[in-house]
Amino acid sequence: MLISGLVLFLGIHLLPAVPTARAGLVTRWGEARYKGIFSLTSALGLALIVAGFAYADRGARIFDPVPAARAIAPFAMTVSFILFAAANMRGNLRAFLRHPMLLGLLIWSGVHLLANGDRAGTVLFGAFFAYAIVDLVSAVGRRAVATFQPKAKHDVIAVLAGVAVALVIMTFHRVLFGVAVMPFGV
């Protein structure tokens, strides 16, 4: 179930990395239908990932967790969530970094990959890490960068939103994912 979800979710998200394939589907289905199928496939893939990971046997330990990854995880996750928020804002962070969503995904998946070491975690976080690398290389190669006039207020919003989401997730990480990551967590 986990692998099926990853194939659906990450596979559909790789379509923009192959512009001719995406253009062919848009031509065949139309923009609205393409976006609808893209959204439904993404949602189904995400649901399968969540359920698959929740029910997966964690499996044998593939490698020992890296203590440094666990130590920096709270800070790295905060940076990741700031970058996720910045990706949707027209701020200086997005203008400077160009692909903050993919950079945030690299940090998120890389730290989680190194902090876990079990089979299910390695499959999940390794797949997202590999996807982020492939998509980042593709986006840079295609020069897929939005142009806009950056506004500092968007950076402030991205930082505040990223920190707030990180704190909420760290607080409820045990309830949501079965592992307490902060002393103040519930």
CB 171 within 8 A of CB 107: no
Annotated domain spans of the chain: 1-56, 60-186
* Residue 58 CB neighbours (<10 A): 14
User: pLDDT higher for 163 or 17?
Assistant: 163
* pLDDT for 139: 92
Query: Which amino acid is located at 65 in the chain?
Result: P
Phi, psi of 141 (to 5 degrees): -65, -35
| Residue 178 confidence (pLDDT) above 90 | no
| Residue 60 confidence (pLDDT) above 90 | no
DSSP annotation of 170: H
Q: Please give the span between the terminal C-alpha atoms of the chain, in angstroms, as a whole number.
A: 29
What's the mean pLDDT in 41-61? 93
| Residue 2 confidence (pLDDT) above 90 | yes
* pLDDT for 122: 96
Q: What mean pLDDT value characterizes the chain?
A: 95
CB 79 within 8 A of CB 104: yes
* pLDDT for 183: 87
What radius of gyration, in Å, describes the C-alpha atoms of the chain?
A: 18
Per-residue pLDDT tens digits for 104-157: 999 999 999 999 999 999 999 999 999 999 999 999 999 988 889 999 999 999
| Residue 11 confidence (pLDDT) above 90 | yes
Per-residue confidence band for 185, with pLDDT thresholds at 50, 70 and 90: confident
* pLDDT for 50: 94
Residue percentage of the chain with pLDDT more than 70: 100
| Residue 1 confidence (pLDDT) above 90 | yes
